[in-house]
Amino acid sequence: MIPFILKDLCVLCGKCVEVCPTQAIVLEKNGIYINEEFCEECGYCASVCLYNAINISFPLSTNKI
């Protein structure tokens, strides 16, 4: 399952964008979004967000990693 973004909590700091190994996260002035095609469901983005703006459900729905 790809991460779910809580837009109200996001402060657009960009940390999640930096850690995403596949550049699946796009930062725009109105918020971030995740390009599902590139997301490998690693969970790095959720783990670095200090504002709990990204949630990811485990166990993973695929075995891509």
Among 1, 4, 22, 61, binds ligand SF4 (CB under 6 A): 22
Q: How far apart are CA 63 and CA 29, in angstroms?
A: 33
CB burial of residue 24 (10 Å; 0-12, 13-18, 19+): buried
Q: According to CB under 6 A, which one of 4, 33, 51, 61 is a site residue for ligand SF4?
A: 51
By CB under 6 A, residue 61 contacts ligand SF4: no
What's the distance, Cα to Cα, between the start and end of the chain in Å?
Answer: 13
Q: Which residues bind ligand SF4 (CB under 6 A)?
A: 3, 10-16, 19-22, 24-25, 32, 34, 39-45, 48-49, 51, 53-54, 56
